[in-house]
A and B are shown apart, each in its own frame.
Chain A
Amino acid sequence: MDIVVLVKQVPDSGSERNLDPADNTVARGSADNVVNEIDEYAIEEALQLKEAHGGEVTLLTVGPDSAADAIRKALSMGADRAVHVVDDAIHGACAPQTSAILAAALQQMSFDIVLCGAESTDGQLSVMPALLAERLGIPQLSGARKLTVEGGVARVERQTDGGYWALEAPLPAIVSTWDTINEPRYPSFKGIMAAKKKPVEKKSLADLGIDPSTVGLATATSQVLDFAGRPPKGAGVKVTDEGDGAAKLVDFLATQKIV
Chain B
Amino acid sequence: MAEVLVLVELNPTGEGVRKTTLEALTAARALGEPSAVVVGGPGAAAAAKAQLAEYGAQKVYVAESEEVDQYLVAPKAEVLAQLVTEKSPAAVVIPSSPEGKEIAGRLAIKTGSGFLTDVTDIAPDGTATQVAFAGATIVHSKVTVGTPIYTVRGNSVTPEPAPGAAEEEQVAVALSDAARATRVVDRVVEQKSSRPELTEASIVVSGGRGVASAENFSIIEGLADSLGAAVGASRAAVDSGYYPHTFQVGQTGKTVSPQLYIAVGISGAIQHRAGMQTSKTIVAVNKDPEAPIFELADFGVVGDLNTVVPQATEAINARK
Residue numbers of A with Cβ under 8 A of B are 13-14, 17-19, 24, 37-38, 94-96, 99, 118, 121-122, 124-127, 129-131, 133-135, 137-143, 158-169, 173, 178-180, 220-230, 233, 236-241, 245-250, 252-254, 256, 258-259
Contacts and interface: CB of A to CB of B under 8 A. Distances in A.
Nearest to A100: B109
A160 B77 CA distance: 19
Interface string B284-320: 0100010000111111111110011101101110010
B281 A222 contact: no
A17 B133 contact: yes
Given A127-B117, A131-B106, A162 B182 contact: no
Contacts of B259: 258
Contacts of A168: 182-183, 185
A222 B114 contact: yes
Interface of B: 72-74, 77, 98, 101-106, 108-110, 113-118, 127, 131-146, 178, 181-193, 197-198, 203, 227, 245-246, 251-252, 259-260, 270-271, 274, 278, 281-283, 285, 289, 294-304, 307-309, 311-312, 314-316, 319
Looking at A131, A228, A236, which has the most chain B CB atoms within 10 Å of its CB?
A: A236
B309 to A, nearest CB: 8
Contact of A247 (B192, B260, B270, B315): B315
A127 B105 contact: yes
A254 B318 CA distance: 13
A245 B303 contact: yes
Contacts of A246: 301, 307-309, 311-312, 314-315
Nearest to B178: A137
B118 A124 contact: yes
5 contacts: A163-B190, A220-B144, A224-B140, A229-B137, A229-B138
Given A96-B114, A162-B192, A229-B136, A253 B316 contact: yes
Looking at A130, A133, A247, which has the most chain B CB atoms within 10 Å of its CB?
A: A130
B142 A223 contact: yes
Contacts of B101: 125-127, 130
Contact of A227 (B138, B303, B312): B138
Contact of A162 (B140, B189, B295, B302): B189
Nearest to A127: B105
Contacts, number: 254
Contacts of A220: 114, 144
B137 A228 contact: yes
Contacts of A129: 102
Given A13-B274, A99-B109, A250-B312, A236 B137 contact: no
Nearest to A227: B139
Contact of A165 (B133, B184, B197): B184
A249 B299 contact: yes
Contacts of A13: 133-134, 251, 270-271, 274
A153 to B, nearest CB: 10
Contacts of B246: 159, 161-163
A30 to B, nearest CB: 13
Nearest to A118: B98
Nearest to A225: B140
Contacts of B283: 249, 252-253
B289 A180 contact: no
A239 B300 contact: yes
A250 B138 contact: no
Nearest to B253: A179
Contacts of B105: 95-96, 125, 127, 130-131, 134
B106 A19 contact: no
A247 to B, nearest CB: 6
A124 B191 CA distance: 26
Contact of A222 (B77, B144, B186, B299): B144
A155 B148 CA distance: 34
Contact of B144 (A143, A180, A223): A223
Given A134-B105, A167-B183, A239-B301, 12 more contacts: A14-B270, A95-B105, A95-B115, A131-B106, A134-B109, A142-B73, A163-B189, A167-B182, A233-B296, A238-B294, A239-B300, A245-B285
